[in-house]
Amino acid sequence: MAERGRPRAFDRNQALHQAMMLFWEKGFQGASMSELTAAMGINAPSLYAAFGSKDALYRQAMALYEEGDGVVLGREIAEAPTAKAAVEAYLMRSAALFTRPGKPAGCMVVLSVVHGAGTSPQTSEALRDARNEAQAVIEARLRRALEAGELPATCDPAMIASFYVTVQQGMSIRARDGATRPELEAIAQASMAAWDGLTQMQG
Amino acid sequence: MAERGRPRAFDRNQALHQAMMLFWEKGFQGASMSELTAAMGINAPSLYAAFGSKDALYRQAMALYEEGDGVVLGREIAEAPTAKAAVEAYLMRSAALFTRPGKPAGCMVVLSVVHGAGTSPQTSEALRDARNEAQAVIEARLRRALEAGELPATCDPAMIASFYVTVQQGMSIRARDGATRPELEAIAQASMAAWDGLTQMQG
DNA sequence: AGGATTATTTATCGATCGATACAGAAAGGA
DNA sequence: TCCTTTCTGTATCGATCGATAAATAATCCT
Average pLDDT of the segment spanning B116-135: 88
Residues of chain B contacting A, Cβ within 8 Å: 26-27, 29-30, 110-111, 113-115, 117-118, 128, 131, 159-160, 162-163, 165-174, 176-177, 183, 186-187, 190-194, 196-198, 201
- Count Cβ atoms within 10 A of the Cβ of residue B149 and give its class: 0-12 exposed, 13-18 middle, 19 or more buried: exposed
Instruction: Say whether pLDDT at B113 is over 90.
Output: no
The rounded Cα B174 to chain-centroid distance in angstroms is 15
Residues A100, A175 contacting (CB under 8 angstroms): no
Task: Kindly give, in sequence order, each residue whose CB lies less than 8 Å from that of residue A40, ignoring residues fewer than 6 positions away.
Answer: A10, A15, A18, A19, A47
Please give residues of chain A from 5 to 44 whose alpha-adjacent beta carbon (CB) lies under 7 Å from any atom of strand C: 5-10, 42-44
Average pLDDT of the segment spanning B69-85: 97
Q: What is the mean pLDDT of chain A?
A: 94
**B8-47 confidence digits (pLDDT tens):** 999 999 999 999 999 999 999 999 999 999 999 999 999 9
What residue ranges do the domains of chain B occupy? 64-200
Report the CATH fold assignment for B64-200.
Tetracycline Repressor; domain 2 (1.10.357)
Reported pTM: 0.95
Q: What is the pLDDT of residue A203?
A: 38
Q: Which residue's CA is nearest to the C1' of nucleotide D25?
A: A6
Instruction: Say whether pLDDT at B203 is over 80.
Output: no
Q: How far apart are the C-alpha atoms of A91 and A104, rounded to whole Å?
A: 18
Q: What is the pLDDT of residue A116?
A: 63
Widest Cα–Cα separation across chain B? 65
Q: How far apart are the C-alpha atoms of B176 and B199, rounded to whole Å?
A: 31
Q: What is the pLDDT of residue B140?
A: 98
Q: What is the pLDDT of residue B53?
A: 97
Per-residue confidence at A114, pLDDT binned at 50, 70, 90?
confident
Distances in Å between the alpha carbon of B173 and those of B55, B83, B102, B176? 24, 25, 18, 5
Nucleotide nearest to A1 (CA to C1'): D28
Q: What is the pLDDT of residue A113?
A: 81
Provide the residue count of chain B.
Answer: 203
Average pLDDT of the segment spanning B92-113: 96
B191: chain A residues, CB-CB within 8 Å: 163, 167, 191, 194
| H or E element, residue A167 | helix A157-176
B196: chain A residues, CB-CB within 8 Å: 197
B110: chain A residues, CB-CB within 8 Å: 173
Instruction: Say whether pLDDT at A201 is over 60.
Output: no
Dihedral (CA of A14, A11, A72, A167) sign: positive
Instruction: Say whether pLDDT at A11 is over 60.
Output: yes
Please give the radius of gyration of chain A, using alpha carbons only, rounded to the nearest integer: 19
Sequential DSSP letters for B129-191: HHHHHHHHHHHHHHHHHHHTTSS-TTS-HHHHHHHHHHHHHHHHHHHHTT--HHHHHHHHHHH
**A36-55 confidence digits (pLDDT tens):** 999 999 999 999 999 999 99
Average pLDDT of the segment spanning A74-101: 98
In Å, how far is B154's CA from the nearest CA of chain A?
Answer: 15
Residues of chain A contacting B, Cβ within 8 Å: 26-27, 29-30, 110-111, 113-115, 117-118, 128, 131, 159-160, 162-163, 165-174, 176-177, 183, 186-187, 190-194, 196-198, 201
Q: How far apart are the C-alpha atoms of B169 and A135, rounded to whole Å?
A: 17
Q: What is the pLDDT of residue A2?
A: 67
